[in-house]
C-alpha cells in the first residue's frame, strides 16, 4: 500500500513484560463516511495499548508547490480544489491573505457578503456531517439512506436543510462546489437584492429545521467521555468568528493571524514525539466547532443561546468530543440566523470589488472552515506572482488530538466486545468530520515511546 502519509504511535511497549498476554487488534482498512481516504489500526496487549494508528493514505497533490509561479488572483480558484467539501473556506483564506499582502480594505458590504456565502458553507457542510455522516453512528445505521427507512422525516428535513445551504452558496457564488464569484478585493458580481430576498423564506424554514435538529441530536446517547483540550479558534469581540479575528486558546494563546507560524509548528522528524501541527509551547490542540463554541458562545445570537439552554447544553460540554454533533447543529442554527440578518440588511451598494495595485508583499489569511481554522500564507513578487505558499488545513491540526482521543477511547471501552469497540473508534474519528482530502501535506511519521 502506498501510505505516503501515515501516523503511527507506539506507546507503552514493554518488551518481554507482557509475554503470554493476548493481543487484540482493531482494524478498519477504509474508514467510511469521512472525506478522503484513511484507515484505523489499534493494537492492545493485555491491558496495555500497544499501538494506535490513524492512517491517511490520501495521495499527495502538491498544491503548495504548484501554486508557485501562478498569479495572485488564481490562488482562490486553485486552492478551492483542495477540498470540494469546504471550498469557500479555501477561497476566503486565500483572498484574505492576498488582500492583506496588497493592503486592500474591503467595504462593509463586501465583508458581509463574504460572511453570507460562508454561512451557506457552514449550513451545507455541517448538515452533511450531522445527518449523513455522523447521526447514523449514534443510531446504529450504516448510512443515512438506511436511517431514512426508520426516520424518513428526519432525513428528508436534513436533506432540505442541506439544500438551502447549497442554494445560498449558489446564489452568491454561482455554484455550490468551487464557486466562481469570489475574487481578490470582493466579488465579480453583487447578488441581486430581490434574488437574495427570495432566500428569506427558505432560510426561515431552515432555521426551524435547525432548531429541531438541535433537539433531535441532544437526545442521542453520548458516551460519558471528557478530555481537557487546548481549544484554538478565532475570536472577535463583536461577532461569532467566521472570517476575521485573533487566534486564541484557553491556555493563554492570543495572537494576530500573521504570527501564526511563530506559535504553531509542523514537525517532520521521524521518531519524535511531535506529529503534524503542534503549538510550539505545548503540543496538541483542538480546532473546530467545539473550540469556536467554547470561546465564543457569548457572541451567539440570543435565539441560538436560548436553544442551547433549552437542551441544557453548557460550554463545558465542549470537553466531550462526541457532543460535537450538538455544537454543529447549534452552529447551523447560528448560520441560518446570521444569513437572515445579513440578507435583511443587504443593499446592493457597489462596488462589487475594490481595485488595487499589484505589489510585492507577504500575506496571511485565517478563517473558520466548518472543521476549524484554515491558515494560508503567500509571498508575492512585484509581478503579482506567488513566490511561496503555505496552507495548513484544520484536519492536519486536529490529527494529534484525534489520536489521543482514540487512545483514551480504547482505554475506556477496553472490555467492550470487538465490534462495539471498533465502532466507537470509528465514531471517535468521525467526531472531527476529518477532511482527509484537505491533506496538503500529511506525512508518515513514527513515534515510539518505549517505557523502560
Partner 1 sequence: MRKKSSKAGNKRAKIKPKLAVWKFASCDGCQLSLLDCEDELLGIAEIIEIANFAEASRHVLPGPYDLSLVEGSITTSHDADRIKDVRNQSRHLVTIGACATSGGVQALRNYAREEDYRKYVYARPDYIEALATSTPISNHVKVDFELQGCPINKTQLLEVISAFLHGRKPNISSYSECIDCKLDGNVCVMVAHGTPCLGPITHAGCGSICPRYNRGCYGCYGPQDSPNPRALGDWMVAMTKASPDFVNRSLQTYYTGNKIFHEASELFQKDAQKVDALGESQSLPSPEPNRKDT
| Chain residues that interact with ligand SF4, rule: CB under 6 A | 81, 84, 180
Nearer to partner 1, 146 or 299 (CB): 146
Q: What is the distance between the alpha carbons of residues 113 and 162, in angstroms, rounded to a whole number?
A: 20
**CB of 195: closest distance to ligand SF4 in angstroms?**
19
Nearer to partner 1, 164 or 307 (CB): 164
Interface with partner 1, residue 212, by CB under 8 A: no
Residues paired with residue 249 on neighbouring β-strands, in sequence order: 232
Q: What is the distance between the alpha carbons of residues 171 and 188, in angstroms, rounded to a whole number?
A: 13
Interface with partner 1, residue 78, by CB under 8 A: yes
Phi-psi label, residue 83: left if phi above 0, alpha if psi -120 to 50, beta otherwise: beta
43 binds, among partner 1, ligand SF4, none (CB under 5 to 8 A by kind): none
Nearer to ligand SF4, 62 or 414 (CB): 62
**CB of 143: closest distance to partner 1 in angstroms?**
3
For residues 408 to 437, the per-residue mask of contacts with partner 1, x marking binding by CB under 8 A and - elsewhere, is ------------------x--------x-x
Residues 142-181 close enough to bind partner 1 by CB under 8 A: 142-146, 148, 155-156, 159-160, 162-163, 166, 174-178, 180-181
* Half-sphere exposure at residue 16, Cβ-oriented, CA atoms within 13 angstroms: 2
**CB of 84: closest distance to ligand SF4 in angstroms?**
5
Interacting span for partner 1 (CB under 8 A) from 14-22, 84-92, 215-223, 280-288: 84-92
Interface with partner 1, residue 381, by CB under 8 A: no
226 binds, among ligand SF4, partner 1, none (CB under 5 to 8 A by kind): none
For the stretch 274-277, contacts whose Cβ atoms lie closer than 8 Å and that sit 24 or more positions apart, written own/partner, are 274/400, 275/7, 275/399, 275/400, 275/403, 275/445, 275/447, 276/7, 276/396, 276/397, 276/399, 276/400, 276/442, 276/443, 276/445, 277/392, 277/396, 277/397, 277/399, 277/400
Expressed in angstroms, the distance from the first to the final Cα of the chain is 32
Q: What is the distance between the alpha carbons of residues 16 and 3, in angstroms, rounded to a whole number?
A: 30
**CB of 179: closest distance to ligand SF4 in angstroms?**
9
Residues 87-146 close enough to bind partner 1 by CB under 8 A: 87, 128, 132, 136, 142-146
What Rg do the C-alpha atoms of the chain give, in angstroms? 22
Q: Quick check: helix, strand or coil at residue 145?
A: helix
296 binds, among ligand SF4, partner 1, none (CB under 5 to 8 A by kind): none
Interface with partner 1, residue 354, by CB under 8 A: no
Nearer to partner 1, 21 or 66 (CB): 66
Separation in Å, CA 71 to CA 80, 101, 236, 259, 370: 15, 13, 31, 24, 27
Nearer to ligand SF4, 61 or 412 (CB): 61
Q: Given candidates 21, 25, 27, 32, which one binds partner 1 under the rule CB under 8 A?
A: 32
**CB of 94: closest distance to partner 1 in angstroms?**
14
Evaluate whether 347 touches 72 at the Cβ level (below 8 Å): no
Amino acid at each position: 500500500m502506498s501510505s505516503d502519509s501515515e501516523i503511527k504511535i507506539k506507546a507503552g511497549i514493554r518488551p518481554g513484560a507482557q509475554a503470554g498476554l493476548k493481543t487484540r487488534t482493531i482494524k478498519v482498512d477504509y474508514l467510511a463516511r469521512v472525506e478522503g481516504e484513511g484507515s484505523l489500526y489499534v493494537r492492545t496487549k493485555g491491558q496495555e495499548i500497544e499501538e494506535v494508528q490513524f492512517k491517511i493514505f490520501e495521495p499527495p497533490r502538491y498544491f503548495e508547490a504548484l501554486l508557485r509561479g501562478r498569479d495572485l488572483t488564481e490562488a482562490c480558484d486553485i486552492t478551492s480544489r483542495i477540498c470540494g467539501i469546504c471550498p469557500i473556506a479555501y477561497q476566503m483564506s486565500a483572498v484574505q491573505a492576498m488582500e492583506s499582502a496588497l493592503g486592500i480594505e474591503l467595504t462593509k458590504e463586501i465583508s458581509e457578503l463574504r460572511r453570507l456565502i460562508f454561512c451557506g458553507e457552514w449550513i451545507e457542510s455541517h448538515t452533511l456531517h450531522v445527518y449523513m455522516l455522523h447521526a447514523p453512528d449514534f443510531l446504529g445505521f450504516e448510512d443515512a439512506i438506511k436511517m431514512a427507512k426508520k426516520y424518513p422525516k428526519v432525513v428528508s428535513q436534513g436533506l432540505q436543510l442541506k439544500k438551502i445551504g447549497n442554494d445560498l452558496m449558489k446564489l452568491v457564488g454561482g455554484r455550490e462546489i468551487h464557486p466562481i464569484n469570489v475574487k481578490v478585493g470582493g466579488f465579480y458580481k453583487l447578488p441581486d437584492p430581490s434574488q437574495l430576498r427570495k432566500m428569506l423564506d427558505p432560510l426561515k424554514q431552515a432555521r426551524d429545521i435547525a432548531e429541531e435538529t438541535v433537539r433531535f441530536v441532544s437526545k442521542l446517547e453520548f458516551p460519558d467521555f471528557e478530555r481537557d483540550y487546548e481549544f484554538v479558534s478565532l475570536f472577535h469581540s463583536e461577532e461569532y468568528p467566521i472570517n476575521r479575528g485573533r487566534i486564541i486558546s484557553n491556555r493563554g494563546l492570543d495572537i494576530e493571524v500573521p504570527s501564526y507560524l511563530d506559535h504553531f509548528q509542523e514537525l517532520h522528524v521521524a521518531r519524535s514525539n511531535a506529529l503534524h501541527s503542534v503549538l510550539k509551547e505545548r503540543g496538541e490542540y483542538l480546532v473546530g466547532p467545539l473550540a469556536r463554541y467554547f470561546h465564543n458562545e457569548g457572541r451567539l445570537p440570543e435565539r441560538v443561546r436560548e436553544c442551547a439552554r433549552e437542551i441544557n447544553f453548557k460550554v463545558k460540554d465542549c470537553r466531550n468530543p462526541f457532543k460535537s454533533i450538538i455544537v454543529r447543529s447549534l452552529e447551523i442554527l447560528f448560520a441560518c440566523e446570521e444569513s437572515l440578518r445579513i440578507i435583511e440588511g443587504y443593499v446592493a451598494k457597489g462596488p462589487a470589488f475594490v481595485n488595487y495595485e499589484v505589489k510585492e508583499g507577504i500575506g496571511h489569511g485565517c478563517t473558520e472552515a466548518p472543521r476549524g481554522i484554515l491558515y494560508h500564507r503567500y509571498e508575492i513578487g512585484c509581478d503579482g506572482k506567488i513566490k511561496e505558499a503555505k496552507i495548513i488545513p484544520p484536519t492536519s491540526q486536529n490529527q494529534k488530538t484525534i489520536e489521543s482521543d482514540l487512545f483514551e477511547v480504547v482505554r475506556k471501552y477496553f472490555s467492550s466486545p470487538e465490534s462495539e469497540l471498533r465502532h466507537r473508534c470509528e465514531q471517535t474519528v468521525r467526531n472531527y468530520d476529518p477532511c482527509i482530502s484537505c491533506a496538503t501535506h500529511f506525512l508518515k511519521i513514527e513515534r515510539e515511546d518505549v517505557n523502560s
